[in-house]
Copies of this chain bind each other. A is one copy, B any other.
Amino acid sequence: MYLYCDQICLPQGRFFDGYLKIENGKISEIRNQKPENEEVIDYSGYYILPGFIDIHIHGWGTGSFINDKSAAAVLKMSKDLPDTGVTSFLATSGAEEIDEIKKGIDSVAEIMSKPQVNGAQVLGVHLEGPFISAEHKGMQREECCLYPDLELMKEFIKYQDQRVVKLMTLAPELPNADKLIQMCFDNRIQVSAGHTGATFEDIKRLKDYGIGGVTHMFSGMRGFHHRELGVVGAAWYFDDLYCEFAKQTGMTVRPEAFALTYKLKGAEKIIMTTDCAGLGQSNRQKYHYIRKITMIPDGEFLIIRHDDGREERYRRDNYEEVKHLEMGYLESVQNMVRNVHPQMHEVARMTAENPAKYIGVFDQKGSLEAGKDADLIVLDKEYELQATYCRGNLAFVKKGE
């Protein structure tokens, strides 16, 4: 199968007018000569970009890893994510009971042990905690924030021959964090600093042990001060650190704060994620202090009670209803684009190339090149999604097209 497009986003910011051939789920060729006697899908006037890679997502739509550690829940995320342009992701845990985290790792290992045919590919697990700072817990559960524990970590990485755990967020100021970071390095797990009260000097000292960046920049970390620059200042100051951003709603991080970071770090060192939770699947009553809502599970429904008393009911297994509960990857990218006006190849850096490099899958994902997985999205110039292909299979198509 061939896709034709006059604007195929290649690496190094080059756009190519030609034909992209898909065979066995991979990009086998990108050429400018028209194929003869072959099926060609015509995307003239559109842009083809590598699919979004979300390395920080707890849940989406009808699936929520943070609420349900089963393989089935993760596969529901896989099914629903192409709708927002995501073609692969890391199932992300939080500060939870140890057995829950282990169960989640088991489920992801199970999925990864078999060929994944449909939907966004599960690339592994992002362990956000449990070795994080209770003081900077944000929406995490305080009672589940632990000090680094090397024995426990060994249990988390029992499938590491498959590289099931690909990313870990931890607080580097905690005791023994340096040893844990080294253990991650030895097991090819990328480490991000997050939910942390580390000082600038802590980050400076430990970053060469293997801290590659920070999790949800600005949130859950020591802020900037001109005499103690904190984690924020370190992330800005050290050119080699990546800044991962949660979805750009404007609520948790003002657009101008993102814009300053974009000016300092450039598209080269920003990673877009959503940090979505799959709120529709909330399994216990919880107050969301930034959105000012209480989520109340009620059988097959979820009730959202706003602080002002309004209530809404959502059918939990209906994607078309629950997808409105939080902002998805695509909409977050659209907001970011309106804010800082990157070029489209810079968007591809922040959404595909950088995350793929960060978690060590750039040999298969993150750019449109022969030999890589055919994970791609078709956008118009307004960043409206026309189609999503996951490993060559059409996984989303805009209605009416």
Contact = CB atoms under 8 A, between A and B. Distances in A.
Interface of A: 200, 218-219, 223-229, 232-233, 236-237, 252-254, 256-257, 259-260, 263-264
A226 B235 CA distance: 14
B260 A233 contact: yes
Contact of A264 (B224, B225, B233, B263): B263
B236 A254 contact: no
A252 B228 CA distance: 11
Q: What number of copies of this chain does the assembly contain?
A: 2
Contacts of A218: 226
Contacts of A227: 252-254, 257
A259 B238 CA distance: 11
B257 A229 contact: yes
A252 B225 CA distance: 11
A27 to B, nearest CB: 37
Given A218-B226, A236-B260, 15 more contacts: A200-B254, A223-B224, A223-B225, A224-B224, A226-B232, A226-B252, A226-B254, A227-B254, A229-B254, A229-B257, A233-B260, A237-B259, A237-B260, A260-B264, A264-B264
A226 B223 contact: yes
7 contacts: A200-B256, A224-B224, A226-B253, A227-B257, A229-B260, A233-B260, A237-B260
Contacts of A229: 254, 256-257, 260
Contacts of A200: 254, 256
A343 to B, nearest CB: 20
A224 B252 CA distance: 14
A33 to B, nearest CB: 46
- List the 5 shortest-distance A-B pairs measured between CB atoms, nearest first: A218-B226, A226-B257, A226-B253, A224-B224, A237-B256
